[in-house]
Amino acid sequence: MKKYAFTCLLFLTMVNWLWAQDEKGFKKENLFAGGSFTVSFFNRQTLLGADPMFGYKIANWVDAGLAFNFLYNGARDYYEFSDKVRETVYGPGVFTRLYPVRFLFVQGQFEHNFITQKYIAAPGSVNYIDDKFKTGVNSLLIGGGFAQGREPGSNSFYYISVMVDVLKNFYSPYVNVAYNPNNPSQQRITMAPIIRAGINIALFQGRRR
């Protein structure tokens, strides 16, 4: 729990420091909205979702803001052949993007997701039964992307990014859990690539010159 609190504190400290560097103070034309779609297919698993966000361009090379996450996660052959897992995931998050050059960025996004999971046992299974439970989990997504159409004086553009969850929590919707078929208590957790394509829409900028 301490490392999650430290992550949030570090983010807020960085945003506050960067904000202080802008001598002109808050500018409403630096606000933007937008979001992305999430699509990932890997190892008999499907991940689909949306990630609306609201943010502020702190400087020409850094954006930060709030996000809300919604995901559907489906998997087959989870514990044994022909079983299924269905998940719905939602929760808030904070993000920051750094632009080393105008069209490339690196991004970090911390999320706390609420998860409802339903397990459907394989037909005729004698080892497992249908089950349903709810939990919460933290994720820290790290990655980078490409921005198309990002120009000086405007924060409207399209982008595509690839990120992974470096925390690798067992219940994270962004990881793949593999089991030893001879001993299900033995498991391996690996990060799955998360591909997001979306748009930034600048607010209060009026008509472009």
Prediction pTM value: 0.77
Q: What count of Cα atoms within 13 Å lies in the side-chain half-sphere of residue 206?
A: 2
**Structure confidence at residue 37 as a pLDDT band (50, 70, 90):** confident
- pLDDT one-digit tens code per residue, 182-191: 776 778 888 8
Domain 2-202 has CATH 1.20.140: no
Return the pLDDT at 54: 93
User: What percentage of residues in the chain have a pLDDT greater than 70?
Assistant: 83
CA gap 202, 113 in Å, rounded: 27
Q: How far apart are CA 114 and CA 138, in angstroms?
A: 9
pLDDT in tens, 107-129: 999 999 999 988 888 887 877 77
Q: Find the mean pLDDT for residues 130-144.
A: 91
Closest by CA to 88, choosing from 108, 118, 112, is 118
Q: What is the mean pLDDT of residues 64-68?
A: 92
Position 11 confidence tier, pLDDT thresholds 50, 70, 90: low
Tokens 């079983």, located at residue: 83
